[in-house]
């Protein structure tokens, strides 16, 4: 005789497949949302970079010009580039020369320019006369002068370096610290310009320099009669590598060679009526390839990348959905099999009667 013994156990809780599906969906959705945010960030950065570049390379700036001086455009405008700019448009508002040279602008080892100015000035209290010049390193300034009669107010010659120091000195905010060098003008009965220059200043860096003759502070309210002579021994740039140029024109458009290292040198002629002639304006004319690069290649690459990533997202979602459907079918079959068993019984153990009697 066989005895059937049942073992009652506590039903185990079923795992909800719906919960698993919800978690998977949220994971996929979070991945795609993260990518969408990243894509938006990249596009925003690209647009901002484009706007900044266009603004920088279309920016028209101006600098002061003085006659007989030379100016290198790349020293003034950091946006100078033969890669992005097809040409440079220059406006000086006065007749000027512009030279496009191959390579970096170099100092001439053969030529120098000497400018001599002789002045006779009557300077009243709180007045001054000056000469301004943009000098290249290696130049030198030489000044000599005299004032008639010792009884007249004292006067001096000043050398001021830099436009900011000049503006501060004019407003009285920097009477001493802004002066690079100074010397008193001696009183004489007669002025002899055959003697040596009394002031010499060596230029060590490219900048605007101002040579000023003025009365000394608290020297009286009478006018002072000054005779002076200024000599500028000026360093100039080598123009032997010139490939294009404009002569005696107030405006000029110089085409640039793509990818080459080049510089533009501007020079105001000596025949102008004023020593300070206003300004030069320079503007980069952007190449078409630059616009194509920004508006076609880069956005196209970003769109292609976005499409590939979206396809990957969609493929992953389809794969996860297929796996979820298989899990649902498997769980459904397991549940059906469990429903065929007696309620709350998980197993049936068969015991032979002989074993139980023993």
* Token representation of residue 74: 């790349």
pLDDT at 35 over 90: no
Q: Is the pLDDT higher at 102 or at 110? A: 102
pLDDT tens-digit profile of 49-92? 555 555 545 555 667 777 778 889 888 777 678 888 888 888 87
Taking alpha carbons only, the member of 34, 3, 1 closest to residue 349 is 3
Q: In what order do the strands lie in the sheet with 207-215?
A: 128-135, 207-215, 155-161, 179-185
Cα–Cα distance, 183 to 11 (Å, whole number): 109
| Longest Cα separation, the chain | 155
Q: Per residue, what are the HEC states of 151-165?
A: CCCCEEEEEEECHHH
Q: Is residue 29 very low, low, confident or very high in pLDDT (cuts 50, 70, 90)?
A: low
Residue 277: its pLDDT value, please?
58
Q: Is the pLDDT higher at 225 or at 4? A: 225
Cα–Cα distance, 235 to 254 (Å, whole number): 24
Residue 340: its pLDDT value, please?
59
Q: Is the pLDDT higher at 70 or at 35? A: 70
pLDDT at 202 over 90: yes
Residue 137: its pLDDT value, please?
92
Q: Is residue 181 very low, low, confident or very high in pLDDT (cuts 50, 70, 90)?
A: very high
59-63, 132-136, 260-264, range with the lowest pLDDT: 59-63
Q: Is the pLDDT higher at 357 or at 134? A: 134
Cα–Cα distance, 60 to 54 (Å, whole number): 12
* Per-residue b or e along 231-251, where b marks 16 or more CB atoms closer than 10 Å to that residue's CB: bbbbbbbbbebeebbbeebee
pLDDT at 139 over 80: yes
The architecture (CATH level 2) of 62-106+238-293 comes to Sandwich (2.60)
Residue 37: its pLDDT value, please?
66
Task: Please provide the DSSP assignment of 277-304 as one string.
Answer: EEEEEEEEEE-HHHHHIIIIIHHHHHHH
Q: Taking residues 233-249, what's their average pLDDT?
A: 92
> In Å, how far from its chain's centre is CA 62?
17
pLDDT at 8 over 50: no
- CATH code of 109-236, in short, is 2.60.120.380
Q: Is residue 44 very low, low, confident or very high in pLDDT (cuts 50, 70, 90)?
A: low
Cα–Cα distance, 230 to 159 (Å, whole number): 12
Residue 144: its pLDDT value, please?
87
Asked whether the domain spanning 109-236 has the same topology as the one spanning 62-106+238-293, the reply is yes
Residue 71: its pLDDT value, please?
87
C-beta of residue 114 within 8 angstroms of C-beta of residue 234 = yes
Residue 255: its pLDDT value, please?
92
Measured distance between the N- and C-terminal CA atoms of the chain, rounded to whole angstroms: 13
Element (H, E) at 66: strand 61-66
Is 0.75 topped by the overall pTM? Answer: no
Cα–Cα distance, 36 to 13 (Å, whole number): 39
pLDDT at 289 over 70: no
pLDDT at 281 over 90: no
pLDDT at 273 over 50: no
> In Å, how far from its chain's centre is CA 238?
28
- The conformation of residue 195, written as its DSSP 8-state character, comes to S
Q: CA angle, corner 236, sides to 233 and 241, nearest 5?
A: 160
Task: Give the position of tokens 């390193």.
Answer: 137
Q: Is residue 20 very low, low, confident or very high in pLDDT (cuts 50, 70, 90)?
A: very low
Using only C-alpha atoms, the chain has a radius of gyration, in whole angstroms, of 43
Q: Where are the domains of the chain?
A: 62-106+238-293, 109-236
Cα–Cα distance, 353 to 3 (Å, whole number): 6
Residue 45: its pLDDT value, please?
62
pLDDT at 24 over 60: no
pLDDT tens-digit profile of 330-357? 777 767 666 655 555 444 445 454 444 4
Helix, strand, or coil (residue 132): strand
Q: CA angle, corner 32, sides to 28 and 38, nearest 5?
A: 145
127: left (phi over 0), alpha (psi -120 to 50) or beta: beta
Residue 13: its pLDDT value, please?
46
Residue 264: its pLDDT value, please?
93
Among 102-106, 171-175, 307-311, 315-319, the range of highest mean pLDDT: 102-106
pLDDT tens-digit profile of 107-128? 998 888 888 888 888 888 888 9
């Amino acid at each position: 005789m066989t005895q059937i013994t049942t073992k009652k156990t506590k039903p185990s809780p079923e795992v909800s497949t719906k919960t698993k599906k919800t978690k998977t969906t949220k994971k996929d959705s979070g991945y795609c949302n993260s990518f969408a945010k990243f894509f938006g960030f990249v596009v925003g950065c690209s647009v901002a970079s484009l706007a900044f570049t266009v603004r920088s390379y279309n920016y028209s700036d101006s600098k002061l010009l003085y006659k007989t001086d030379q100016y290198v455009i790349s020293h003034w405008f950091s946006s100078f580039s033969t890669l992005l700019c097809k040409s440079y448009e220059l406006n000086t508002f006065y007749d000027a020369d512009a030279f496009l040279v191959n390579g970096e602008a170099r100092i001439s080892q053969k030529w120098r320019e000497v400018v001599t100015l002789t002045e006779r000035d009557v300077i009243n209290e709180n007045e001054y006369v000056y000469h301004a010049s943009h000098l290249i390193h290696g130049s030198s300034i030489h000044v000599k002068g005299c004032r008639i009669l010792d009884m007249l107010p004292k006067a001096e010659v000043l050398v001021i370096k830099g436009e900011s120091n000049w503006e501060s000195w004019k407003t009285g905010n920097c009477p001493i610290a802004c002066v690079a060098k100074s010397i008193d003008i001696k009183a004489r009965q007669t002025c002899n310009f055959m003697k040596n220059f009394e002031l010499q200043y060596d230029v060590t860096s490219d900048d605007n320099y101002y040579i000023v003759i003025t009365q000394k502070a608290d020297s009286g309210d009478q006018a002072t009669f000054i005779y002076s002579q200024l000599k500028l021994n000026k360093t100039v740039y080598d123009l032997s590598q010139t490939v294009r140029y404009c002569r005696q024109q107030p405006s000029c458009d110089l085409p640039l060679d793509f990818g080459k290292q080049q510089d533009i040198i501007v020079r105001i002629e000596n025949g102008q009526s004023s020593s300070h002639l206003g300004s030069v304006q320079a503007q980069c004319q952007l190449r078409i390839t630059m616009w194509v690069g920004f508006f076609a290649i880069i956005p196209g690459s970003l769109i292609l990348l976005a499409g590939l990533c979206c396809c990957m997202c969609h493929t992953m979602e389809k794969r996860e959905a297929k796996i979820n459907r298989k899990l649902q079918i498997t769980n459904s079959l397991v549940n059906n099999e469990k429903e065929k068993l007696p309620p709350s019984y998980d197993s049936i153990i068969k015991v032979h009667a002989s074993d139980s009697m023993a």
